[in-house]
Amino acid sequence: MRKMYKNVKIDLTPLPILEELIEDLTNKYLTQKAVLASCGEYADPHLVQGLESDIKLLDEVLERVYDQQQLINARAEQIIGLN
């Protein structure tokens, strides 16, 4: 019975599961910052306030997603260490 499991290979290396989401959030964050920087001093205060709020939210979400990816990596490395 053990014979049939000889050819089974399990790859437990950490996968960048959230990498695409991190990239998308980073791009959105940088775009919002660029728009805010290009507004100038005569921009509508509501627009500026909205952009600043979006940037703050994106920064917080990006940090949490990045932390989740680090946690996933740590767990995967822990599992690899057990084998």
Residue 44 pLDDT grade (very low, low, confident, very high; cuts 50, 70, 90): very high
pLDDT value for 81 = 72
| Local confidence band at 72 (pLDDT 50, 70, 90 cut-offs) | confident
What is the 8-class DSSP label of residue 43? Answer: S
Task: Kindly state the tokens that stand for 18.
Answer: 């959230």
Is residue 44 classed as helix, strand or coil in its secondary structure? coil
Residue 18 has pLDDT above 60, yes or no: yes
Q: What percent of the chain has pLDDT over 90?
A: 57
Contact criterion met (CB below 8 Å) for 62 and 29: yes
Would you say the C-alpha torsion 66, 69, 71, 77 has a positive or negative sign? negative
User: Is the predicted pLDDT of residue 46 greater than 80, yes or no?
Assistant: yes
Structure tokens at 56: 């703050």
For the cut 60, the answer to whether the pLDDT of residue 2 exceeds it is no
Side-chain-side CA neighbours of 9 within 13 Å: the count stands at 3
